[in-house]
Amino acid sequence: MVGAESGRPHVALLPSPGMGHIIPLLEMAKRLVLHHGFHVSFITITTEASAAQTQLLRSPNLPSGLHVVELPPADMSTILHDDMTIVQRLCLIVQESLPYIRSVLRENPPQALIVDIFCTDAFQIAKDLSIPAYSFFTAPTALLALSLYLPTMDREIEGEYVDLPKPVQVPGCNAIRTEDLLDQVRNRKIEEYKWYLLSVSRLPMAVGIFVNTWEDLEPVWLRGLRENSFFQQIPIPPVLPIGPLIKEDEPLTDFDNDCIEWLDKQPPDSVLFITLGSGGTLTSTQLTELAWGLELSQQRFILVVRTPSDASASGAFFNVGNNVMKAEAYLPQGFMERTQEVGLVIPSWAPQVTVLRHPSTGGFLSHCGWNSTLESISHGVPMIAWPLYAEQRMNATMLTEEVGVAVRPVVGEGKNVVGREEIERVVRLVMEGEEGKEMRRRVRELQSSALATLKPGGPSFEALSEVAGTWTTTAH
């Protein structure tokens, strides 16, 4: 037994594939090793793993005591097909990996198993092996609240949720506009909805649900889950905010170093960083409008460009880091020459944490994926919210209307893209306007709060410490 051999208590973490799931669970694993003295088995599903995921998990910089267990790839040749949605694909990959997961856990039983939302199939394995199982919900508490309410909605509401005359009122929480509902629940007839409903309906089986947030960021949602009689009657397990768990460091290539050197030469808070997460892509028309909007704004920028996809906004989810192309091919003719004094264009991938941490970075045009959101707030950078898929519309609304750290561009009437003039307007607003200054003040307040909550004595540190204490007790 690895845990027993090291003399430390042993826990196992099981993320589903995809950088948005791997990163926060890996950061939790690191904290358990470095701050709480655990040995951690980080069980990874290698089936359809992206190049970026493989590179991250084979990094030589992982702490001693964190053991990455790579499961053999499952044969998906007769199961997956090209037009499957992300959630359906993830759930099927996890399902086919279950025999390998069972074998790893039986061989080396941990004191606890922590799984993410698309690995709830493993709850049954944990039960069979008498291992306490927890969930790590990698999206915001707002989505957790909606997800825990979803089985009730499914029973009580007829027709499509997006056709409801009023916003969805989650008990004890804020209402969610129907147009902001996550992709997975927008059509109840498709397989993806059924998979998502199945996954979230198992959450009450967990001993506890970890969330990657903290008290000051989502107070209304956390209070609703803890205090509202609806959630007490389900009943749901304790909800434990242990965030913000974000990537602390990343290895830099020579190309990345060139990017940082360019940033070093720019004034403080002057550069807008534009990237749409590990899986996000724009249509070719929208990418053209974005480029023109940046040029018109005359602001400094770093633009990460991916091959446009007119088919899917999540076109790079399973192949991020796999292909790098020449950015010029997808941008307006002459754009790079005309903006070379103020802009830097990077193909495919940039060292996001390093750029957000840099003092010259003053704004972030983001898809509002939860990891990127937490990174932006933790580094004190206000956002232009550009949601693409999953729950990102919910996140964008929360950041603009509840938290006050983002502005969202408006799509003109009768248009299906954000026009260049609107992009120019929001870029100038964030980078040089009064509203931008207020957003920057607010995000820096939350930055201080994020730092404090993770220190010994802070609420997020203590929440993890308390649970870790129970696992340590059972280890002896």
d(Cα 157, Cα 153) in Å, to the nearest integer? 5
Instruction: Report the 10 Å Cβ neighbour count for 39.
Output: 26
End-to-end CA distance of the chain: 14
| Alpha-carbon distance values, 74 to 57, 94, 221, 342 (Å) | 19, 9, 38, 47
* Closest among 206, 207, 236 to 221, alpha carbons compared: 236
Predicted confidence band at 476 (pLDDT cuts at 50, 70, 90)?
A: low
CA distance linking residue 136 with residue 284, whole number of Å:
36
DSSP annotation of 468:
H
Instruction: Give yes or no for residue 1 having a pLDDT over 50.
Output: no
Check if 2-243+454-475 and 254-450 are the same fold: yes
pLDDT of 326 above 80: no
Evaluate if residue 102 carries a pLDDT over 90. yes
Q: Where residue 78 falls among pLDDT bands split at 50, 70, 90?
A: very high
Confidence of residue 311 (pLDDT cuts 50, 70, 90): confident
Burial of 335 from C-beta contacts in 10 A (0-12 / 13-18 / 19+): buried
Average pLDDT value for the chain: 93
> In the structure, what pLDDT confidence band is assigned to residue 447 with cuts at 50, 70 and 90?
very high
Percent over 90 (pLDDT), the chain: 84
Q: Give me the residue spans of the domains in the chain.
A: 2-243+454-475, 254-450
pLDDT value of position 314: 57
Predicted confidence at residue 441, as pLDDT, reads 98
Enter the DSSP assignment of 190.
Answer: S
Q: How far apart are CA 330 and CA 293, in angstroms?
A: 15
Amino acid at 405: V
Mean pLDDT of 278-297: 92
The encoded tokens of residue 240 equal 């434990």
Pick 254-450's CATH classification: 3.30.70.360, 3.90.320.10, 1.10.3720.10, 3.40.50.2000: 3.40.50.2000
**How much is the pLDDT for 310?**
81
Instruction: Give me the percent of the chain exceeding a pLDDT of 70.
Output: 95
CATH class of the structural domain 2-243+454-475: alpha beta
Residues with catalytic function: 21, 116
Q: What is the mean pLDDT of residues 428-455?
A: 98
pLDDT higher than threshold 90 for residue 26: yes
Q: Residue 277 — pLDDT band, cuts 50, 70, 90?
A: confident
pLDDT over 90 (residue 340): yes
The dihedrals phi and psi of 278, each to the nearest 5 degrees, come to -75, -20
**Mean per-residue pLDDT, 255-279:** 94
- For residue range 360-376, list pLDDT tens digits in order: 999 999 999 999 999 99
Q: What is the DSSP string of 390-422?
A: TTHHHHHHIIIIII--EE---PPTT-SS--HHH
Phi, psi of 49, rounded to the nearest 5 degrees: -65, 140
Q: What is the pLDDT of residues 65-77, one digit of tens each?
A: 999 999 999 999 9
Model pTM greater than 0.85? Answer: yes
Q: What angle do CA 208, 393, 226 make, to 5 degrees?
A: 25
Give the pLDDT of residue 328. Answer: 84
Q: What is the pLDDT of residues 201-257, one digit of tens each?
A: 999 999 999 999 999 999 999 999 999 999 999 999 999 999 999 998 888 889 899
CA distance 462 to 10: 19
174-210 residue pLDDT tens = 999 999 999 999 999 999 999 999 999 999 999 999 9
Indicate whether 317 pLDDT > 60: no
Single-letter residue type at 363: G
pLDDT reported for residue 452? 98
Nearest to 459 by CA among 204, 239, 203, 248: 239
pLDDT in tens, 112-159: 999 999 999 999 999 999 999 999 999 999 999 999 999 999 999 999
Per-residue pLDDT tens digits for 29-62: 999 999 999 999 999 999 999 888 998 999 998 9
Residues contacting 289, CB < 8 A, separation 6+: 417, 418, 419, 420, 423
- Centroid of chain to Cα 330: 27
What pLDDT score was predicted for residue 86?
87
Whether pLDDT at 459 is above 60: yes
pLDDT at 325: 55
Residue spans of beta strands (DSSP E) within 171-254: 175-176, 209-211, 239-241
- What angle in degrees, to the nearest 10, is found between the helix axes of 459-475 and 19-36? 70
Amino acid at site 343: G
Contacts of 69 (CB under 8 A, 6+ apart): 41, 42, 43, 44, 104
Q: How many CA atoms lie within 13 A of 433 on its CB side?
A: 15
Residues in the chain: 476
Tens-place pLDDT, residues 379-393: 999 999 999 988 999
pLDDT of residue 322: 47
The amino acid sitting at 409 is: P
Which residue has better confidence, 349 or 439?
439
